Chain A
Amino acid sequence: MGKSIADLKLVHDPATIIASLRAELVEARGVASSAEILREYVGTATLAVNELQLPKWVHEPKATKSPGVPKIMLSDLHWGEQVRPEQIGGVNSYNLAIARQRLRSVIETVISLCKILDPSMKYPGIVCPLGGDMVSGNIHDELATSNELNTMPTVLDLYRNLVPAIRLLADTFGHVFLPCVSGNHDRDTKKIWSKDRNHTSFGWLLYQFLVAAFAEDKRVTFYIPDGSDALYRIFNTRYLLTHGDQFRGGDGIIGPLGPVTRGEQKKNTRNAAVGQDYDIMEFGHFHKRMLTARLRGNGSLKGYDEYAADSNFGFEPPSQNFWITHVDHGITFDAPVYCDAIKRSRKTDWVSISK
């Protein structure tokens, strides 16, 4: 088709150009409005500088004798990735079937632990941060060729497993609050983007699917900020959830503790300057359970892998962090939830000394 006078008007007729720009402005306003609707839909429209109006149960426990609010952090699931035991000395194995088992085991163990802590289960609810790296993603050549599934079917498979997991938590605890952030493995871009990080993330897409799945279920609340950090509060303890990929460096002795501590300092200074202080930063990314007064580093569902073995990182069994936030004391009970089923160990005395 040839160049018409209409085409010429688009580039040289001031009136046509102005009309076109006006139409673009209307469309842009529409998109901005859609984004607002979307935020409203996912429950983050009322954010005052990124802070969500939390469900009431988080602030006021319905029973003062409750041990507090339990929390199970789910991060670094790397759903779809395969770890071959023969390549890492047989210490771990991971694929979709194992991932499904481990996720189920984590949820069942959390319920079991909570029943031990309070047999009457008078918890006001449970918090379940989804901390990113939910899927393996085709972000490196080796992952693209070795993942069990491509990213989109992986997202669907994870969705099908997370929905019953969250529903079981809601049925058991009454309420579930899920702050969600994206991880570096979730990305759909060559490098992670600072702009539109979430809108280029399969993790974010998964969270939106979950929001839709629980749209009618008032017991389940999601908090999906547009940025990389989620700031929320349980009673009087302020948490900042982030994936942790912003912290780089470290050495062979202290591992990621140095960069994470430095990064946390910077983040806290940044947040304090704009009235978004927090007490504890929770993160994943390093697949290392790391606990200090201000840090809660999560393990991973995937566990030890070829990269960790090649880099001579210390072995750590797959685990996810569980803890209780008490209304007065803050964090009290703190335990790793090991993802694999308990293996029968050889019989030993409950306590002994070396002979």
Chain B
Amino acid sequence: MSKPIKKGNRLNDLRAIHDRNVVIPNRIRAAIATLLASGDEWIYELDFLKLSKPPIGCVDISKFRDGFVDYWAEMPSVNGKATMRRVWFATTKACLDWKENIGG
């Protein structure tokens, strides 16, 4: 098998390193993959941010979360407090099941 010939730095390589519109979604995908590999079916968002190395920032997740709506859900309050928590799921199936059955 012949070795692929390096054609030099491409624009996409540069985007993957310096374009936040590419970097952050990639980190989110990596975090989802880590979550899936861990065996956990879900995780709270604050912990989810740390699954990526380097971690995803809070401001960044708020900007790019909507691109992954099939992976997270807002948890209904059960203790009377106004604080809302988001949970990320390892698979879209688990997330959609949750939203259908619980309505988060």
Contact = CB atoms under 8 A, between A and B. Distances in A.
Interface in B26-54: 38-43
Interface residues on A, range: 10 to 19
Contact of A12 (B40, B76, B97): B76
Contacts, number: 33
A12 B87 contact: yes
A4 B41 contact: yes
A5 B98 CA distance: 8
A14 interface: yes
A1 B38 CA distance: 9
B38 A12 contact: no
A17 interface: yes
A275 interface: no
A14 B42 contact: no
Interface in B58-104: 75-76, 78, 85, 87, 94, 97-98, 102, 104
Given A12-B102, A13-B102, A5 B76 contact: no
A2 B76 contact: no
A49 interface: no
B78 A8 contact: no
A111 B76 CA distance: 73
Interface string A1-26: 11111011101111001000000000
Contacts of A3: 40-43
Nearest to B85: A12
Nearest to B98: A5
Given A5-B94, A5-B98, A12 B78 contact: yes
A13 to B, nearest CB: 5
Interface residues of B, number: 16
A2 B39 contact: yes
Main secondary structure of the interface of A (DSSP, over half): helix
A4 B42 CA distance: 7
Contacts of B85: 12
Contacts of A9: 102
A24 to B, nearest CB: 15
B14 to A, nearest CB: 37
Given A14-B76, A14-B78, A17-B78, A8 B39 contact: no
Nearest to A15: B102
B54 to A, nearest CB: 24
Contact of A2 (B40, B87, B97, B104): B40
A2 B94 contact: no
A45 to B, nearest CB: 38
Nearest to A16: B102
A7 B75 CA distance: 13
Given A5-B94, A5-B97, A12 B41 contact: no
Contacts of A8: 41-42, 87, 98
Nearest to B74: A12
A222 B87 CA distance: 58
11 contacts: A1-B39, A2-B39, A3-B43, A5-B42, A5-B97, A12-B78, A12-B85, A12-B87, A12-B102, A14-B76, A14-B78
Interface of B: 38-43, 75-76, 78, 85, 87, 94, 97-98, 102, 104
Closest 10 CB pairs of A and B: A2-B39, A2-B40, A12-B75, A3-B40, A8-B42, A5-B41, A13-B102, A4-B41, A17-B78, A14-B78
Interface of A: 1-5, 7-9, 11-14, 17
